[in-house]
Every structure is written in structure tokens, then in C-alpha cells.
Amino acid sequence: MRSQDAGLAEALVDLSHHVLHLFADAGRGHGLSQQQVELLCAVIVRGAVGMTELGRLLHVEKPNLSNLTDRLERRGLVVRSRAAHDRRATEVTLTDEGTAVAMRTYRDVAARVRTLLERVPQAEQQQLATVARRIVHDEPA
Amino acid sequence: MRSQDAGLAEALVDLSHHVLHLFADAGRGHGLSQQQVELLCAVIVRGAVGMTELGRLLHVEKPNLSNLTDRLERRGLVVRSRAAHDRRATEVTLTDEGTAVAMRTYRDVAARVRTLLERVPQAEQQQLATVARRIVHDEPA
DNA sequence: TATTGTTATACTCTATAACTATA
DNA sequence: TATAGTTATAGAGTATAACAATA
């Protein structure tokens, strides 16, 4: 690894830790883990979400997502239901309590994101989003 | 959260997952977890490292770092020693086997970093490093 | 008294393989 | 045969509180 790569790599790794810890920190007050917060935020933004899409969004394998969903269902925050169009598929939705918890947590996450980004000027934020998407192949070069 | 913030936030979260999974993927072939790879890489780059600095680098709390170090020590990859200047402090160093494993893993990580960044032009990489450091407060605005 | 690190506990997350049900 | 999801299992990571030793 060239030394300039190493510098960028270290900065990226540090940034990644900060970004994901933001979910953990937001969840702590509500007794939620990082992954639980990520799942709740994904569902509140999208409405009903299938397990496959959740796994892709959260970067979690199927069996682990099943367990993650189990724990949230046991706590009464989400429910599973069979999808109408494909009876193999499961859709995850929020309960009333889950919605309330997810809203509070989502606002907490959003506030922390704003704090994290407040040192970065608008123009650079736009560039950052573009580069980030390019790196994860969501966007063409 | 404004919708433009949300777009950036999602891109950042996705990027963060990719970056940290890179360590997990590099470790899989060697039976090492993400955190184990991160620790080995930190030690190979720095030589002997104290527990406090390791905790800061890996974003891991003290008790968890103790456990992480225990598992690597049990596998014969690292050893602990008392620091000369402060007899409370512990320093972590690599064994011969640990050095060999860490070198291979480090090269694997480096290769994956290059792949991850190959779509990003040099100039943008430099900007990215600057913005990343600014976000985590390592660098003034 | 503050700091460095460990131990103890209870819970959550992870990877892998094997399984069921639907397509 | 392939896909969506679950179950089982063993190991690893996590947060918190309480502790020992050194500064």
C-alpha cells in the first residue's frame, strides 16, 4: 500500500467507525443496539421492507437478520407478515410502539448526523455523497 | 433530516459498512474476525501499541479490548508485556507467527482498499481524505 | 484521587451448514 | 432447480459495573 493510500485508508476506517457508532450511541438511551437502530431507521424510512432488502441495506446475512428481527419482534417493536405477491417472502413493519421508538431514535440519529457533518461545507457534502456512492458502485464513474 | 442530508447519510452508512466489511472479508480466509484484523494491522504498522491507543484506534472499550487481546494471545499471534515507563500500562506486540499472519492479512486488506478506491480519481481521493479527517475532528476546518 | 487494565455477567452479533416452503 | 427465510450451533463482540495495581 502506498503511503498516501494508507493515509486515506486510515481516515476512511476512522470515519466508518464514527458513522456506525453514531447508530449505537443513538440507540443506547433506548436500549437498542447499532443493528437494531439501523433496522428501525430503514423500516421507518421505507415502510414495509422485505428481509432480503433489509439484509442488503444493513449488510447482514440472512440467518443473522432472522435473529435480529426475532429480538425486535420479541420486544414488540416490529411484526413479520407474509408478502402477498410471493408467499415465501416476509415483510417487516413497525408496531405502534415500534413506530414511536423508531421516530425518537431516527430523530436522534439525524441530529448526530448533522453534528458529524457540521464542519463540512455544503459543496463538499455533495462531493462526498458522490464519491461515497461511486466507491460502493451505486454510481458510474 | 433534510432530504439531501438523508441521501448523504445513506451513502456514508453504506460506505462505512463496505469499509469495515473489507477487514472481515480479508480475515475470513485466515479465520480472523474484523476486529482481530484491525488489531493486527494496527500493531504491524505501529510496532508495540498500548491498550489505550488500541482502544482509541479500533473504537473498542477497554473490557472488550481485553477480551479481543485474550483471544489473539490464546491463538499465539500476540503477546502482552508491561511497559517500562509506566508499570500500569500493557503493550501488545506480534509473535513470529503473528507477524507472518499479520503481513499476509495486511497485504490482503491493502489490495481490497485499492480495489475499493480504483474508481476514484487521485484528486478526489485527496479531497476524500481531507473531508474524512475533518469529520472525525482530526483536522481543523 | 485518577488512570491502566482486568474480571464478571448478561446479552447481542456473526458465520456456517442444514433445513422448510414456495417459485 | 433456485429463491426466501428459518433453525441450530459455536464462537466473537458489546456494554456495564466492580475490581486491582500503579501513578
Check: pTM over 0.85? Answer yes or no.
yes
Using a 7 Å cut-off to protein CB atoms, list the covered nucleotides of chain C. 3-9, 12-18, 21-23
Contacting residues for A27 by C-beta, under 8 A, at least 6 apart? A33, A34, A36, A37, A105
For B109, the domain range is 3-135
Kindly indicate the confidence band of residue A23, based on its pLDDT and cuts at 50, 70 and 90. Answer: very high
What pLDDT, on a 0 to 100 scale, did the predictor assign at position A140?
Answer: 62
pLDDT at residue B5, as a whole number: 79
Q: Is it the case that residue B3 has pLDDT exceeding 80?
A: no
Residues on chain A touching B128 (C-beta within 8 angstroms): 8, 11-12, 128, 131
Per the listing, cell 485474550 goes with B70
The model's confidence at residue B85, banded by pLDDT at 50, 70 and 90, is very high
Q: CA of A27 to nearest chain B CA: how many angstroms apart? A: 16
Check if residue B63 sits with its Cβ under 7 angstroms from strand D: yes
Q: Do A20 and B17 touch (CB under 8 A)?
A: yes
Q: Taking a contact as any Cβ pair under 8 Å apart, which residues of chain B between 57 and 96 contact chain A?
A: 58-59
pLDDT of res. A99? 98
- B130 within some domain: yes
Give the residue, B6 or A58, on which the prediction is more confident.
A58
User: Grid cell 448526523 — which residue?
Assistant: A113
Q: For A17-26, A68-77, B5-14, B102-111, which range has the lowest pLDDT when averaged over its residues?
A: B5-14
C-alpha cell read off for A29: 438511551
Overall number of domains in chain A: 1
A141 domain residue, yes or no = no
Q: Are B91 and B50 spatial neighbours (Cβ–Cβ below 8 Å)?
A: yes
As a rounded value in angstroms, the CA-to-C1' distance for B99 and D16 is 34
pLDDT at residue B91, rounded to an integer: 98
- What residues contact B135, with CB distance under 8 A and at least 6 apart? A15, A18, A116, A117, A119, A120
**For residue range A116-127, what is the model confidence (pLDDT) as tens digits?**
999 999 999 999
Whether residue A38 lies inside any domain: the answer is yes
Cα atoms found within 13 Å of the Cα of residue A35, Cβ hemisphere only: 16
pLDDT band at A39, cuts 50/70/90? Answer: very high
Q: Decide: B55 and B65 in contact? Cβ < 8 Å.
A: yes
> What number of CA atoms fall less than 13 Å from residue B98's CA on the CB side?
25
Residue B16: inside a domain: yes
Residue B30 is placed in which grid cell?
Answer: 485466515
| Lookup: cell for A103 | 421516530
Nearest to A105, CA basis, from A57, A56, A44: A44
Question: Has residue A138 got a pLDDT over 90?
Answer: no
**In this complex, do A18 and B114 lie within 8 Å of one another by their Cβ atoms?**
no
Q: Is A108 within a domain?
A: yes
Residue with grid cell 474508481, as numbered in its chain: B119
Does B122 map to a domain? yes
Separation of A68 CA and C12 C1' (Å): 9
In a domain, B140, yes or no: no
- The pLDDT score that the predictor gives to residue B140 is 62
CATH of the domain at B30: 1.10.10.10
Contact between B8 and A19 (Cβ < 8 Å) = no
Residue A60 within any structural domain of the chain: yes
DSSP single-letter state for residue B92: E
pLDDT over 70, % of chain A: 96
CA distance B84 to B20: 34
- Choose the closest CB to A1 out of B17, B110, B116: B110
Cβ of residue A5 closer than 8 Å to a chain B Cβ: yes
Chains A, B: CB pairs < 8 Å: 136
Q: Is the pLDDT at B137 greater than 90, yes or no? A: no
A3 band by pLDDT with thresholds 50, 70 and 90: confident
* Among the partner residues A58, A128, A141, nearest to B8 by beta-carbon distance: A128
